[in-house]
A and B are shown apart, each in its own frame.
Chain A
Amino acid sequence: MKRIYVNEKWCLGCHLCEYYCAFANSNIKNMVDALKDVTIRPRIKIEELQSISFAVSCRHCEEPLCVKGCISGALTIKDGVITIDKNKCVGCYTCVLSCPYGAVSPSDHGVMQKCELCTQNGGEPACVKGCINKAIVFEER
């Protein structure tokens, strides 16, 4: 299965992936309208310390702790992609606590959100498309 991988060697810590992610999941057509004067809540986040930086998003684990711990059945795994059903999520934060990567986070609407490989946005994940140094790739490994 194709997953998002980050090659830390080429990550510049520019944070553009976060903005492209937020824009892609905003359902607004224009980036300026979507992101101007907005505090973004991206599903991919840059971790950085001094000269090292890399982007972190959902690993789509084969045995996901978040799915295991979900009390309402909102998190499911289908064809390897872990998705969240916003209608079922009760906002208990169990997934947030159980994810070892910190890849699940609360959204603006109270329920949880996470990277779904842009399956709802069509085509290649926005963070991969937007990465200026090919540090984030979407590939089979």
Chain B
Amino acid sequence: MPINFIHPEYEVIRDFNKCIKCRVCERQCSNEVHKLDPDHNIMTADDSKCVCCHRCVSVCPTKALKIVKSDHTFKTNSNWMPETITEIYRQAESGGVLLSSMGNPKPFPVYWDKILINASQVTNPSIDPLREPMETKTFLGAKPNKIERDKDGRLINNLPPQLELTLPIMFSAMSYGSISYNAHESLARAARELGIYYNTGEGGLHEDFYQYGANTIVQVASGRFGVHKGYLDAAAAVEIKMGQGAKPGIGGHLPGTKIGSDISKTRMIPEGTDAISPAPHHDIYSIEDLRQLVYSLKEATEYKKPVIVKIAAVHNVAAIASGIARSGADIISIDGFRGGTGAAPTRIRDNVGIPIELALASVDERLRAEGIRGNVSLVIGGSVRSSTDVVKAIALGADAVYIGTAALIALGCHLCRSCHTGLCNWGIATQKAELVKRLNPEVGYTRLVNLITAWRHEITELMGCMGINSIEALKGNRLMLRGIGLNEKELEILGIKHAGE
């Protein structure tokens, strides 16, 4: 047996005074960490297998368990950090690309946390959302740049197709394959109940979920999985996925082990084959090609559905967005570098792309400077974590936000970032039947509805503080924001003043 260079990162701490040996930890851990030692009649744990997902901690009836970070240490070194060294050991052993899941965990600045929100005092009354109407209805889609009248002078409805949301939050693209059937059902049902939209991701739409079509955005990605006429027709809008915040510039790879019969049918690929999404769309090598795909999809859907183009936030995102706004797209969606993923090369996830706050601010400003902000709606995602992030995003200029990770956390995800193993103990990022069933959609959808309902309360409270009773008056209202601890350049890009100014 070769030397094991890697010491477990986490340790399972069991309070033996509390453990009643019910073995629920053992039964619920798909990583097989826990085991009853029959000779000594005690529970044992193999720390090396623990991914710190807290399933055992959460189900233990006597709260006898906790997971702690190992204090085992390398010799202190500010350059060669333990993580770096361990990664080298891994690669030296495997010869492979490091894989990770979920969003960028590195300590980059989180601009949401450096922005403060305004409130009314004296010269302008704040509004009590419990007493006054507070409106969060949002429309997404291109707006006409002139009005038309019929011969009697009445306004003609010349609006291109729109999405109508009860509040500016949607569930972002997560494919069937990357997440489970039950996770999809939870999202779809919650979207319908909330009057918002969820996004199929690139894995096609399971036939059971066509009934949620009015609240569904279907994705067309570089692999074109599961794309056919019925799929497009079922949806409320079609999203062309050009990029993803967690892995800009590369495609996707769903291993064949995850392609069971249901997924194979939905994705329209043979069972057991790897589902590989190419890095680019091979029919889009430039902006004029994108325009062709936008209009192909519009033709296919008879100009009745808005077309969304989703891109990752990269350095020249403003110029790219400006091009897309002129490509016929109705909505641009931008995914920041903290956005989640079911699997991505670690180096790309952690080093490629830019924060969504900066991307949003510069895109909104650029589109306004060019006078084309009305051509498109702007939806952003990539780590929108709370109602205040939503409010800040809208005030910076977004029409709506996509939430992915937050929705998964509501479903039970503990951000153990092990989606790529396919052993998700919470029934979310897995295709194993015995694990998938752990997420009862009845429970899942209620939790999603609760989360968004709670956010809606908080958003209206925050709006009331600002004396704003309709969300459209918040959109792009950057005067409602102030930066704290940001330098001049950051403030300039965000288009906000510093606190105290």
In chain B, what residue has the closest Cβ to A130? B61
Stretch at the interface among A28-36, A67-75, A77-85, A103-111: A28-36
| From A9, A12, A23, contact of B28 by CB (8 A) | A12
Structural contact, B61 and A31, CB atoms closer than 8 A: yes
A31 to B15: give the CA distance in the assembly, Å.
14
A8-35 CB mask vs B (1 if < 8 Å, else 0) is 0110111110011001000000011001
Task: Select from chain B the residue with minimum beta-carbon distance to A51.
Answer: B434
| B61 pairs with A15, CB closer than 8 A | no
What A residues does B18 contact at CB under 8 A?
A: 32, 36
Residue A61 at the chain B interface, CB threshold 8 Å: no
Chain A positions 60 through 104: 1 when the CB is less than 8 Å from some CB of chain B, otherwise 0: 000000000000000000000000000000000000000000000
Q: Check B24–A16 contact: CB distance below 8 A.
A: yes
A121 interface residue per 8 A CB criterion:
no
Q: Assess the B20–A35 pair: CB atoms within 8 A.
A: yes
Q: Which residues of A contact B22 (CB under 8 A)?
A: 15-16, 19, 35
Asked if A118 CB lies within 8 Å of chain B CBs, one says no
Picked from B17, B20, B27, the residue with its CB within 8 Å of the CB of A14 is B27
The chain B residue with its CB closest to the CB of A20 is: B61
Please report the C-alpha to C-alpha distance between residue A20 and residue B440 in the assembled complex, in whole angstroms. Answer: 20
Return the chain B residue nearest A12 by Cβ: B438
Q: Is there a chain A Cβ closer than 8 Å to B23's Cβ?
A: yes
Task: Decide if B62 is an interface residue (CB 8 Å cutoff).
Answer: yes
Question: Which residues of B have CB within 8 Å of A31?
Answer: 20, 61-62
User: Does any Cβ of B come within 8 Å of A2's Cβ?
Assistant: no
Cβ-neighbour of A13 out of B20, B27, B440 (below 8 A): B27
Enumerate chain B residues within 8 angstroms of A133, measured Cβ to Cβ. Answer: 437-438, 440, 443
State which size class the interface on A falls in. 20 to 34
Name the CB-closest residue of A to B25.
A14
Bound-state Cα–Cα, A34 to B279, Å: 58
A16 touches B20 (CB 8 A): no
**A30 and chain B: residue at smallest CB distance:** B62
* Cα distance A135–B440 in the bound complex, in angstroms: 8
Alpha-carbon distance between A15 and B24 when the two chains are bound, in angstroms: 7
- Please provide the chain B residues from 386 to 439 with a CB less than 8 Å away from any CB of chain A in the complex: 433-434, 437-438
A36 touches B438 (CB 8 A): no
User: Shortest Cβ distance from A31 into chain B, in angstroms?
Assistant: 5
Give the residues in chain B near A35, CB-CB below 8 Å.
20, 22, 62
B479 proximal to A (CB < 8 A): no
A76–chain B nearest beta-carbon distance, Å: 32
- When distances are taken between beta carbons in the complex, the residues of chain A under 8 Å from B492 are none
Would you call B20 and A19 a contact (CB within 8 A)? Answer: yes
**Nearest chain A residue, comparing its CB with the CB of B433:** A51
Q: Chain B nearest CB: distance from A127 CB in Å?
A: 12
| Given A15-B22, A15-B23, A19-B22, A32 and B62 contact (CB-CB distance below 8 Å) | yes
Distance (Å) between the CB of B101 and the closest chain A CB?
23
Q: Which residues of the other chain, A, contact B28 by a CB distance below 8 angstroms?
A: 12, 14
CA distance A10 to B433 in the complex (A): 11
Contacts of B20 in A (CB 8 A): 19, 31-32, 35-38
| A132/B59 in contact, CB under 8 A | yes
Cβ–Cβ < 8 Å partners of B61 in chain A: 16, 19-20, 23, 31, 130
Cα of A51 to Cα of B17 in the assembled complex, Å? 32
B93 contacts which chain A residues (CB < 8 A)? none
B1-29 CB contacts (< 8 Å) to partner A: 17-20, 22-24, 27-28
Task: Please give, as numbers and ranges, the residues of chain A lying within 8 Å of B434 by CB-CB distance.
Answer: 12, 51
Chain A residue nearest to B58 in the complex (CB): A132
Instruction: Report yes or no: B59 in contact with A14, Cβ–Cβ below 8 A.
Output: yes
Whether, in the assembled complex, B113 has its beta carbon less than 8 Å from a beta carbon of chain A, the answer is no
Binding site for A on B (CB under 8 A): 17-20, 22-24, 27-28, 59, 61-62, 433-434, 437-438, 440, 442-443
Residues of chain A touching chain B, judged by Cβ–Cβ distance below 8 Å, are 9-10, 12-16, 19-20, 23, 31-32, 35-38, 51, 130, 132-135
Ordered by A's residue number, 26 sampled pairs between the chains whose C-beta atoms are within 8 Å are A9-B437, A10-B437, A12-B434, A12-B437, A14-B24, A14-B27, A16-B22, A16-B59, A16-B61, A19-B20, A19-B61, A20-B61, A23-B61, A31-B61, A31-B62, A32-B17, A32-B20, A32-B62, A35-B20, A36-B18, A38-B20, A132-B59, A133-B437, A133-B438, A134-B442, A134-B443
Closest 6 CB pairs of A and B: A35-B20, A10-B440, A19-B22, A133-B440, A14-B24, A134-B440
Known pairs A19-B22, A130-B61; list 11 more (Cβ under 8 Å): A10-B437, A12-B438, A15-B22, A16-B61, A23-B61, A37-B20, A132-B59, A133-B437, A133-B443, A134-B442, A135-B440
